[in-house]
A = this chain, B = another copy of it.
Amino acid sequence: MNVQLLNKKEAIFESTLKLINEYGFHGTPMSQIAAHANVATGTIYHYFSSKDELILELFKYCREKTNEHIFDFKEDLPYKERFFYIWNRLVDYYIAHKETFWFIEQFYSSPYYELIKQKKTTYYGVDKMHLFFEEGIKSGILRNVSFYTLISIYIGSATSHVKMVTYGFCKMQAKGRAELIEIIWNGVKNQYQ
Contacts and interface: CB of A to CB of B under 8 A. Distances in A.
Tell me the interface secondary structure of chain A in the complex. Answer: helix
One complex includes copies of this chain to the number of 2
Contacts of A145: 176, 179, 183
A192 interface: no
30 contacts: A22-B111, A24-B25, A24-B26, A24-B110, A27-B111, A102-B109, A109-B109, A117-B167, A145-B179, A145-B183, A146-B170, A146-B172, A146-B175, A146-B176, A148-B161, A148-B176, A149-B176, A149-B179, A151-B160, A152-B157, A152-B164, A153-B180, A153-B184, A155-B160, A156-B161, A157-B157, A183-B188, A185-B187, A186-B187, A187-B188
Interface of A: 21-27, 102, 105-106, 108-112, 117, 143, 145-146, 148-149, 151-153, 155-157, 159-161, 163-164, 167, 169-170, 172, 175-176, 179-180, 183-188
